[in-house]
Amino acid sequence: MPMIDRALPAARILTRTIVTAAMLIGIAAMPRALAGEVPKFAVDSSWPKPLPNNWIMGQVGGISTDAQGHIWVFQRPRSLTDDEKAASLTPPRTKCCVPAPPVLEFDSDGNLLRSWGGPGEGYQWFGNEHGIEVDDRGFVWLTGNAADDSQILKFTQDGKFVLQIGKIAPPKGSNDTTQLGRPAEVTVDKDANEVYIADGYGNRRVIVFDATSGAYKRHWGAYGKPPNDDKQAPYDPKAPVSQQFGNPVHCVKVANDGLVYVCDRTNNRIQVFKKDGTFVKEWFYEKNTLANGAVWDVVIWPDPKQTFLLSADGANNEIRVLKRDDGTVVGSFGRNGRGAGQFHWIHAMAVDSKGNLYTGEVDTGKRVQKFKLTSDALR
């Protein structure tokens, strides 16, 4: 209660008391400080807009955003069933549909801006399209995970070929420096001009190359140790923790402070390293998950401190919000299903500078979704 000056007239005392009480009630009713809120989202079921040219999208291997806030999707035309692509058959079986090109660029409203991809001169296209990354210089990096996809490709945003690292051929193992092994994802460290590769479905490592020349720099396995390709027992949550990455090594991301985050998918963990491969720490999630693993992708939250990580779990079909400093789960959303905001094998994610989240699904999911940021989590 406020202190009362007994020399004041009774009317003024009453007025001051009422005003002070109203202020206290108002303060109690106000929401807590908004800065630093946990990211929360609402699905935008109208995104993206229908594709032109009678096109249809297949499995979405990868998704990325660029400096303009555009969304880049890497999808698998060959994953479509004959029923889905019936208009492309000879003779056509139905009015719809025709496979879209592998690389699709959308604006934030869901309009298709550009499309390209497939075999061309000077490079070897993939047997199965997988990951995409658009770096800060605007180059588009692509990966594939078919049996002999031992290469990554670099293009301009118009689809002009720039660089190939590795080649289509059987992989040579997790310590070979010339070939990859069904690489899953790349990320580019603009300051060092280095490309980090989560390698992958065949190999068990992170490997780093010069982003311009493609020259080999370094590689490492789990805990920063040399990787090996010895046969591993199936994942068992009761067994001792694996000292090697499982397959696939499915994502790699580099934060502004130099920490490197790696998805060891089937071992249900994220391992954290320094850029030189020095092991820092690890976190486990849903350790009892046996079906395809619980850590499929990670994106770094775009606030100034990069406070959070978002982690996609394609087995349990949810997205977890993690504190980046200690890996604590502070939120989650999603469940298995095909309705708006639900997931079936959520495979990849990307976030733009405004905190909008974009997701891609494989298996029979075959779609992208947009989730608008609804909390004040960017300060």
Which helix (H) or strand (E) is 271 found in, with range? strand 269-273
Give residue-wise pLDDT tens across range 195-224.
999 999 999 999 999 999 999 999 999 999
Nearest Cα residue to 200 out of 90, 61, 49:
61
- Work out the average pLDDT over 105-126: 98
How high is the pLDDT of residue 71?
98
Mean pLDDT of all residues in the chain?
92
Residue 18 and residue 342: Cα distance in Å, rounded? 49
Let me know if 339 is exposed, middle or buried by CB neighbors in 10 A (0-12, 13-18, 19+).
Answer: exposed
**Residue 107: pLDDT band with limits 50, 70, 90:** very high
- 121 has pLDDT over 80: yes
The answer to whether the beta carbons of residues 159 and 117 sit under 8 Å apart is yes
Q: How are beta strands 98-99 and 55-56 bridged, if at all?
A: parallel
| Triad 206, 189, 321: Cα angle to 5° | 75
Give residue-wise pLDDT tens across range 305-343.
999 999 999 999 999 999 999 999 999 999 999 999 999
**Residue 239: pLDDT band with limits 50, 70, 90:** very high
The answer to whether the beta carbons of residues 113 and 49 sit under 8 Å apart is no
Determine how many CB atoms are found less than 10 A away from the CB of residue 261: 25
Give residue-wise pLDDT tens across range 156-202.
999 999 999 999 999 999 999 999 999 999 999 999 999 999 999 99
Residue 355 and residue 303: Cα distance in Å, rounded? 8
- Name residue 185's beta-bridge partners: 198
How high is the pLDDT of residue 36?
61
How high is the pLDDT of residue 18?
42
**Residue 1: pLDDT band with limits 50, 70, 90:** very low
Residue 26 and residue 79: Cα distance in Å, rounded? 57
Give residue-wise pLDDT tens across range 27-71.
333 334 344 699 999 999 999 999 999 999 999 999 999 999 999
Residue 267 and residue 265: Cα distance in Å, rounded? 5
One-letter amino acid identity for 317?
Answer: N
- Work out the average pLDDT over 270-282: 98
